[in-house]
Amino acid sequence: MRKKNTIHDNGNILFLSDDLLPQEINKVMYFVFQANEIIYRHFGTMSNFDLIICNGHKEMQTQIMSKLGSNGIVQWQQKHNPQEMSNSVAMTDYVLEKIIIRHDIAKFGHYLLELMLSVLDRSHTHQLREALAWYYTLKVTEQFRYVRPSYPIWIDYLYVTPIKRLSKIVGDDFLRDLAVGRASIEESAFPADIRKLFMPEEMFYC
């Protein structure tokens, strides 16, 4: 099968399927471009991760299964059961620096969320990166909620609400700098729900 490979800013986009229509490819390119523009406006940087674009459940499942041995998604794997993993729409591998997206069901928000995750400082804990990515994704899509990924209520409770509180304490500008590693804080001074975002993953998710 011939694979279409194209360039986006600092990375590659690999289309696994040879059956995509030109308008489908253009849609993916547009989503990636718009997501990177938003990220650049907020953080002054863009993703350099490669994107692997899947078409349908089978291609997505194959990609996920082939990458289960990567240390970059061990944390992701530990928090999802096999059924959730096989039905996922998007996934980011930090070690291989690749984002896998199932384009036939992905909304713009899926592209934005995963590309957002890829630019956040990797010294942050997994849950802090997730919280920041969800916070900014929901914030910038507030007036266009139909483009957002679907998400369970615990995302709001464990991730978004503590980050909103943190933003009110430190300010939006400082939070953006913290997100990409241009600032640091002493988390022990904050309320418990915020401190948990900085804890080791095994303590946060136990």
Give pLDDT tens digits along the chain (206 positions): 445 565 554 569 999 988 889 999 999 999 999 999 999 999 999 999 999 999 998 899 888 887 665 555 444 444 444 445 556 899 998 888 999 999 999 999 999 999 999 999 999 999 999 999 999 999 999 999 999 999 999 999 999 999 999 999 999 999 999 999 999 999 888 999 999 999 987 676 65
Q: What is the pLDDT of residue 62?
A: 86
- Exposure on the CB side of residue 177, measured as CA atoms within 13 A: 9
Percent helix, strand and coil across the chain, each to the nearest 5: 55, 10, 35
* Structure tokens belonging to residue 192: 């418990």
pLDDT value at residue 128 = 96
Q: Encoding tokens for residue 78? A: 């530990």
Residue type at position 128: L
Q: Which residues contact 30 (CB under 8 A, 6 or more apart)?
A: none
Cβ-based neighbours of 4, under 8 Å, separated by 6 or more = 14, 15, 18, 20, 25
Residue 146 in tokens: 């139909």
Q: Side-chain half-sphere of 36: how many Cα atoms within 13 Å?
A: 17
Confirm whether pTM is higher than 0.85.
yes
Tokens of residue 15, six digits: 């289309």
Tokens matching residue 165? 């509180």
